């Protein structure tokens, strides 16, 4: 046999004139065929694939109010099927797999409603499908669930439901079939092909399943099946199908050619000349592909997209006299069609129960929003949450699932995951209640996880492939496209950090990868959590590893420590990604958007100085104090300008709290708050610190750069405690030298030098100085120049404004004292006096503030005395309030004489103990003399 594939030219002409996907009008039937000669038989072949649970027209990332309004769903696609049945007498309807997995509706009924007819199978029976080919994802839920579903699908027809045949010819019974011998007995006895007859024309439809299921699922999920080669399978049945049928159609969940272990249809067509039409799923293609068979004739392969967005539509016209066959194939868009209300009525009870009994369950709350911004270019709280959940769930934490193997009773060190989102939303998890239905929006796939072993080289190479997804925008900034985010992996783990230079040559972009402060070596070994899709080679990470010096076998059982499918097989699917996330939130009750990852992206101006310096000290004081550690970078390149400096730090206990560090900028030593965590927050035992010098053009430094790290030592540390600290991986962001040309920077001679020191804490009160600084600084920053700018004899700059005359240098001096942890109380008081004298209001010459200034000095002196400590809490509060009020009056440019007098009298009216007021007033007069000097200098500018 072989019919001539006539009029194939018409198909080619159609494909040239319109896109591969033809759009349905949604307005009714196609043109009714005109009367044809009686020897021509028309057969309309309709096919769906990769529906992935999209039965009802619902977007499950939205809320329940939008149920049934989504633009795609089987309830819309069914309308097109009804139209074709009204137009043609002979209609063949097929589905080529991955029907169930993918939405809450099908998931809920698969796992939690085992006594209820499965909604996906009911939909196929209600619509009158002729044949179903199980996809690889049908096996995800385990053999018990799949067998229950298929038993219902193939059960006897009823008044409202058709019996649907199941065919997967290459799925054989493993009792009698193996690589060496085969009797071709099929799994469950399903027919390798079925014969349908239309007006005397016989059509053979063979189902081909994906042979790669054994690599993608745990053995228990495909128990009893031997997966035969699709080409070998077809050749075994080819002769008998040619003898039995006029037309041969392949319905396959093995795709065209994306994966040589999975997708066989191109090779099958090229090696045969008896196949007339192929419908192929799995790859989610949305087109008709023309492939030449062994005779050079064209065989169309119809790929009907996914999620009910399209349907395959082929008109076969067979001449019963000549055996000639015309094949006119296309893919039709079925989005936005009118709903098939009859199917809606059948599925509506399932949809309602899914929302009421499942999706709307409250799991916990988020005490802040988890942002979707900058996914892929910076650490995020959302990705840290996903990876933390993977580590939390991917081990035998009950000790029950694999009790004979204690090696899997420990969480992994690292976790690998991709954002799995476009990042278009501003909030992935909004603040407030979290419902179970939200899990389907946060994690789109029903993955499970493996805990495996990986070498340091493999982890680094994995990151190198992730780095290939990073691009630069028009401004040279790093970006990851929304389409790449699903394939852009980040790696997470306590103590693990890495730096990617996104401008470097591919394969050399990971310029640092550390674990608890030490650079990771190629032969280091880690335990890592990874999802099943990545582990079986999805996203091409495994292929990249093997192309770049690694030996990594996909689904290598020797690497596996634990699989969360062991949890799934307990009957409640606890090991599936979304359930792990839900269980984690239930256990935590409240989750917070905290970022703990320290990985980062840098540009080609960044260089790394690798190495490590340790410090051991014996703590000698049991009072609160500060530990200072000087780190010197020697032999910087000449005329080097730095824009930032980063380094990794690790210590052996949590008795230290990093509170800041002192860095040289313009030859000044300042306390820098630019730490990548909140100042004063207790850090973990390994952290990455970052300092920006505040200038895009960089800051020039002398030959040596000295940073002084400043730790607060906790009072729980006893005398003689030894602390071990390690610092490593200095990264200098270097911009062009002073001559304007980027120089090659030789880092080989740069070294660390460390000097340790200890200073005791100073019991000083800076509150009054801080309050005065805040008030004067606010005035200065908002000032508008109204007249002159002058300089007094000592070089101090004076700014005359509408609000008053302000000394900018005095403000800077006060800030330095505020930021100095070593400042004594005397230095703080002197800074306060200097700042007080550095401001004068325009109307001050008309108000006598002598008494008020004496009172302020009197209060300051008394509140710093031992006698003040003997006062009751209530009395101390009265002194503090009176002083604050006096300072406010003094700083007020519109103050009146009466306000000054009242504020002074309030201070003098307070009780005091012990000390002679005369002594205190004398000290105040002395301070006033200083104030008066500043007053006389500044009066010249009024």
- The whole-number average pLDDT for the span 397-406 is 75
- The whole-number average pLDDT for the span 784-798 is 36
CA dihedral 81, 84, 90, 92 (to 10 degrees): -30
- Ranges 9-13, 429-433, 654-658: which has the least confidence: 9-13
The tokens describing 794, both together, are 């000592």
Higher-confidence residue of 764 and 878: namely 878
- Tens digit of pLDDT for each residue in 717-756? 454 455 555 555 555 555 544 444 434 444 443 444 343 4
- Tens digit of pLDDT for each residue in 329-347? 999 999 999 999 999 999 9
- Tens digit of pLDDT for each residue in 797-839? 344 444 445 566 777 778 777 766 667 777 788 888 878 776 6
Please compute, for residue 409, the number of CA atoms within 13 A of its CA located in the half-sphere on the CB side: 10
Q: pLDDT-based confidence at 857, cuts 50/70/90?
A: confident
- Ranges 38-42, 316-320, 420-424: which has the least confidence: 420-424
Handedness of CA 117, 120, 123, 128 (dihedral sign): negative
Higher-confidence residue of 738 and 411: namely 411
Q: pLDDT-based confidence at 869, cuts 50/70/90?
A: confident
Closest alpha carbon to 907 in 879, 867, 940, 877: 879
pLDDT mean across residues, the chain: 78
- Tens digit of pLDDT for each residue in 523-545? 999 999 999 999 989 899 999 99
Calpha distance 382→392 (Å, rounded): 15
What pLDDT is attached to residue 401?
74
What pLDDT is attached to residue 700?
56
Is a pLDDT exceeding 70 seen at residue 576?
Answer: yes
User: Considering just the CA atoms, what is the radius of gyration of the chain in Å?
Assistant: 38
For strand 427-429 and strand 370-371, is the pairing parallel, antiparallel, or unpaired? antiparallel
Q: Give me the percent of the chain exceeding a pLDDT of 90.
A: 45
What pLDDT is attached to residue 8?
37
For the chain, the residue count is: 942
Q: pLDDT-based confidence at 27, cuts 50/70/90?
A: very low
Is a pLDDT exceeding 70 seen at residue 770?
Answer: yes
Residue 581 and residue 439 in contact, taking contact as beta carbons nearer than 8 Å: yes
Spacing of C-alpha 263 from chain mean position: 31
Calpha distance 261→434 (Å, rounded): 41
- The whole-number average pLDDT for the span 859-863 is 83
Report long-range pairs for 139-142 (Cβ below 8 Å, ≥24 apart). 139/213, 139/216, 139/217, 139/221, 139/222, 140/101, 140/217, 140/221, 140/446, 141/100, 141/101, 141/110, 141/111, 141/221, 141/573, 142/220, 142/221, 142/568, 142/569
Is a pLDDT exceeding 60 seen at residue 694?
Answer: no
- Tens digit of pLDDT for each residue in 205-240? 999 999 999 988 878 889 999 999 999 999 999 999
Q: pLDDT-based confidence at 895, cuts 50/70/90?
A: confident
- Ranges 275-289, 366-380, 429-443, 661-675: which has the least confidence: 661-675
Q: pLDDT-based confidence at 445, cuts 50/70/90?
A: confident
What pLDDT is attached to residue 573?
60
Is a pLDDT exceeding 70 seen at residue 909?
Answer: yes
- Ranges 19-33, 316-330, 483-497: which has the least confidence: 19-33
What pLDDT is attached to residue 45?
98
Q: What ranges make up the beta strands (E) of 536-680?
A: 560-563, 590-591, 600-602, 606-618, 625-633, 641-651, 656-665, 668-672
Is a pLDDT exceeding 80 seen at residue 447?
Answer: yes
SS3 820: coil
Start-to-end Cα distance in the chain: 112
What pLDDT is attached to residue 425?
60
Q: Which residues contact 441 (CB under 8 A, 6 or more apart)?
A: 60, 61
- Ranges 59-73, 409-423, 796-810: which has the least confidence: 796-810
What pLDDT is attached to residue 220?
86
What pLDDT is attached to residue 699?
56
What pLDDT is attached to residue 12?
36
Closest alpha carbon to 143 in 533, 568, 555, 445: 568
What pLDDT is attached to residue 39?
92
Report long-range pairs for 339-343 (Cβ below 8 Å, ≥24 apart). 339/57, 339/68, 339/75, 339/76, 339/79, 340/75, 340/76, 340/78, 340/79, 340/82, 342/126, 343/74, 343/75, 343/78, 343/123, 343/126, 343/127
Is a pLDDT exceeding 60 seen at residue 394?
Answer: yes
- Tens digit of pLDDT for each residue in 134-169? 999 999 888 999 999 999 999 999 999 999 999 999
Closest alpha carbon to 338 in 516, 80, 139, 43: 80
What b-and-e string marks burial along 778-810, b requiring 16 or more CB atoms within 10 Å of the CB?
ebbeebeeeeeeeeeeeebebbbbebbbbbeeb
Is a pLDDT exceeding 70 seen at residue 7?
Answer: no
Residue 540 and residue 469 in contact, taking contact as beta carbons nearer than 8 Å: no
What pLDDT is attached to residue 657?
59
- The whole-number average pLDDT for the span 916-936 is 37
SS3 488: coil
Q: Give me the percent of the chain exceeding a pLDDT of 70.
A: 70
- Ranges 186-195, 381-390, 765-774: which has the least confidence: 765-774
């Amino acid at each position: 046999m072989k019919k001539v594939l006539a009029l194939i030219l018409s198909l080619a002409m159609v494909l040239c004139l319109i896109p591969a996907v033809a759009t349905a009008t949604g307005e009714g039937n196609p043109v009714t065929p005109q009367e044809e000669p009686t020897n021509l038989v028309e057969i309309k072949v309709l096919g769906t694939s990769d529906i992935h649970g999209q039965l009802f027209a619902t977007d499950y990332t939205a809320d329940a109010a939008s149920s049934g309004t989504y633009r795609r769903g089987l309830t819309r696609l069914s309308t097109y099927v009804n139209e074709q049945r009204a137009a043609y007498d002979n209609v063949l309807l097929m589905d080529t797999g991955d029907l169930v997995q993918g939405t809450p509706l099908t998931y809920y009924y698969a796992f939690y409603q085992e006594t209820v007819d499965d909604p996906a199978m009911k939909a196929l029976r209600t619509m009158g499908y002729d044949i179903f080919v199980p996809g690889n994802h049908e096996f995800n839920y385990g053999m018990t669930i799949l067998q229950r579903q298929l038993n219902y699908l193939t059960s006897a027809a009823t008044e409202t439901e058709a019996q649907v045949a199941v065919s997967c010819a290459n799925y054989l019974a493993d009792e009698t079939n193996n690589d060496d011998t085969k009797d071709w007995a099929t799994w469950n006895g399903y027919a390798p092909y079925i014969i349908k007859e239309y007006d005397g024309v016989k059509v053979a439809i063979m189902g081909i399943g994906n042979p790669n299921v054994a690599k993608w699922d745990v053995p228990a999920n495909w128990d009893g099946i031997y997966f035969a080669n699709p080409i070998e399978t077809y050749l075994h049945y080819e002769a008998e199908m040619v003898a039995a049928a006029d037309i041969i159609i392949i319905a396959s969940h093995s795709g065209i050619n994306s994966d040589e272990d999975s997708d066989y249809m191109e090779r099958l067509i090229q090696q045969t000349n008896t196949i007339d039409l192929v419908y192929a799923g799995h790859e989610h293609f949305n087109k008709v592909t023309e492939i030449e068979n062994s005779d050079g004739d064209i065989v169309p392969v119809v790929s009907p997209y996914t999620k009910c967005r399209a349907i395959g539509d082929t008109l076969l016209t067979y001449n019963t006299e000549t055996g000639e066959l015309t094949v006119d194939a296309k893919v039709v868009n079925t989005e936005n069609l009118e709903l098939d209300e009859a199917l809606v009525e059948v599925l509506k009870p399932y949809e309602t129960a899914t929302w009421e009994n499942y999706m709307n369950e409250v799991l916990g709350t988020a005490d802040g929003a988890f942002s979707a911004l900058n996914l892929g270019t910076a650490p995020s709280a959302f990705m840290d949450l996903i990876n933390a959940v993977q580590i939390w769930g991917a081990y035998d934490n009950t000790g029950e699932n694999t009790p004979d193997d204690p090696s899997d009773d420990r969480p992994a060190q690292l976790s690998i995951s991709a954002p799995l989102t476009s990042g278009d939303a501003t909030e992935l998890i909004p603040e407030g209640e979290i419902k179970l239905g939200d899990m389907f929006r946060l994690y789109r796939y029903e993955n499970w996880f493996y805990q495996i072993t990986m070498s340091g080289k493999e982890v680094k190479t994995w990151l190198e492939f992730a780095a290939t997804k990073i691009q630069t925008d028009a401004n040279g900034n790093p970006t990851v496209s929304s389409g790449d985010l699903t394939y852009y992996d980040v790696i997470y783990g306590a103590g693990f950090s890495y730096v990617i230079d996104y401008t470097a040559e591919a394969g050399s972009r990971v310029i640092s990868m550390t674990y608890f402060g030490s650079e990771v070596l190629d032969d280091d070994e880690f335990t890592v959590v990874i999802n099943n899709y990545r582990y079986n080679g999805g996203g091409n990470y495994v292929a990249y590893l093997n192309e770049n010096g690694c030996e990594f076998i996909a689904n290598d059982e020797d690497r596996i420590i634990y699989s969360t499918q062991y949890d799934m097989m307990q009957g409640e699917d606890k090991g599936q990604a979304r359930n792990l996330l839900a269980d984690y939130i239930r256990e935590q009750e409240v989750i917070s958007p905290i970022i703990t990852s320290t990985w980062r992206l840098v540009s080609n101006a960044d260089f790394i100085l690798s190495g490590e310096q340790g410090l051991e000290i014996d703590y000698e004081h049991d009072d609160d104090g500060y530990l200072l550690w000087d780190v010197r970078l020697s032999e910087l390149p000449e005329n080097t300008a730095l824009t930032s400096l980063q380094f990794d730090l690790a210590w052996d206990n949590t008795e230290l709290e990093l509170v800041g560090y002192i860095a040289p900028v313009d030859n000044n030593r300042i306390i820098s708050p630019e730490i990548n965590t909140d100042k004063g927050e207790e850090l973990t035992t390994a952290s990455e610190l970052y300092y920006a010098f505040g200038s895009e053009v960089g800051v020039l430094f002398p030959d040596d750069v000295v940073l002084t790290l400043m730790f607060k030592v906790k009072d729980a540390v006893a005398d003689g405690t030894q602390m071990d600290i390690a610092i490593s991986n200095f990264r200098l962001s270097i911009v062009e030298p002073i001559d304007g040309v980027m120089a090659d920077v030789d880092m080989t001679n740069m070294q660390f030098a460390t000097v340790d020191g200890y200073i005791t804490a100073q019991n000083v009160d800076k509150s009054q100085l801080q309050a005065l600084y805040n008030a004067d600084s606010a005035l200065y920053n908002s000032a508008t120049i109204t007249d002159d700018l002058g300089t007094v004899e000592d070089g101090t700059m004076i700014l005359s404004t509408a609000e008053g005359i302000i000394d900018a240098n005095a403000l800077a001096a006060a800030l330095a004292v505020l930021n100095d942890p070593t400042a004594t109380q005397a230095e703080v008081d002197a800074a306060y006096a200097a700042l007080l004298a550095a401001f004068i209001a325009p109307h001050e010459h008309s108000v006598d503030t002598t008494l008020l200034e004496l009172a302020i000095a009197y209060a300051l002196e008394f509140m710093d005395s031992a006698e003040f400590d003997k006062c009751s809490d209530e009395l101390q509060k009265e002194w503090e309030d009176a002083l604050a009020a006096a300072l406010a009056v003094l700083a007020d440019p519109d103050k009146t004489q009466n306000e000054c007098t009242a504020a002074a009298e309030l201070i003098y009216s307070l009780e005091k103990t012990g000390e002679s007021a005369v002594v205190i007033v004398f000290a105040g007069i002395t301070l006033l003399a200083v104030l008066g000097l500043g007053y006389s200098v500044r009066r010249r500018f009024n």
